Amino acid sequence: MSTNESDARTILPNRGFTVTVSSRHQEMPAGYSDDINERNWKEFANCRGMSIDVFFGERGDPPSKARKAKLICSTCPVKKSCLMVALSQSDDNHGIFGGVSSVERRVIKRMLRSDPNYLESPEATERYGLHGAY
């Protein structure tokens, strides 16, 4: 297993990684708590309990594998928290985090260097599907 793969595994739910996220509340689907915070956000992730292989492709995998991972992330109520964890990593882990690939994360990091509030912009919110996500 590569170092990046090992590091990436620590970000997914139930792996003990903590990140500070907004304490604001939003309307959640039935069965979700309305109190998402830095300690429990992973409990609300669509990928919770799923095999991490879905989110980590190998060279030569069909593009449909990444699309499947992004589809799972597309309706995730905590995709922004997941993305923020991935963006905070010094090494750019491969795989899909918060519905975004490593190539897309490099673009986001570049945009954040010129505008620290880029992810709050309407452009980024629309492009990465962050509407209402924690």
What is the full per-residue pLDDT of the chain (134 aa) written as tens digits?
Answer: 333 333 333 333 333 333 333 333 334 444 444 555 666 778 889 999 999 889 988 878 888 889 999 999 999 989 998 998 899 887 767 899 999 999 999 999 999 999 999 999 999 999 998 877 67
pLDDT digits (tens, 9 = 90+) for 55-90: 988 878 888 889 999 999 999 989 998 998 899 887
Please give the C-alpha separations between residue 58 and each of 62, 91, 122, 123, in angstroms, as whole numbers: 9, 18, 33, 30
CA pair distance 29, 46, nearest whole angstrom: 12
Read off the pTM: 0.69
Question: What percent of the chain is predicted at pLDDT more than 70?
Answer: 69
The closest of 78, 82, 12 to 51, measured between CA atoms, is 12
Give me 45's structure tokens: 């992730």
DSSP, res 43: G
pLDDT of residue 36: 59
pLDDT of residue 11: 38
DSSP, res 88: H
| Residues 130, 41 contacting (CB under 8 angstroms) | no
